Amino acid sequence: MSVSDKIKSLLQLKGVKNKDLADYLGITPQSMRNKFTRGSFSAEDLIRISAFLGCKLYFDMDGDIKIPLSTDDLRPPALTDQTEPQE
């Protein structure tokens, strides 16, 4: 089963529409469809999708060690220079 199929299954289980996920990710429904078609989900996408769906995403090392990934692991958005010019 592909990553796209797994995400679609989770959306169905949670009763969430693709458009709702697209809105949450800040992309158009067409971009969301493209991601599903291409299976082009970034690590950031997967972390955000897991948070949106209330799922846990983690690295599992032989069942003994689980290293969770969460929105805390995401890079903060780039700051733009919005300061007023100095006189």
CATH number at residue 22: 1.10.260.40
pTM: 0.79
Q: What are the angstrom distances between the C-alpha of 2 and each of 23, 41, 72, 85, 87?
A: 23, 11, 26, 51, 57
Instruction: Quote the pLDDT of residue 75.
Output: 83
Q: Quick check: is 78 in a domain? A: no
Q: Quick check: is 87 in a domain? A: no
State the 10-residue block means of pLDDT for the chain, 87 residues long. 95 96 96 95 95 94 91 77 56
Which domain does 56 fall in, by range?
3-73
Counting the structural domains of the chain, the total is 1
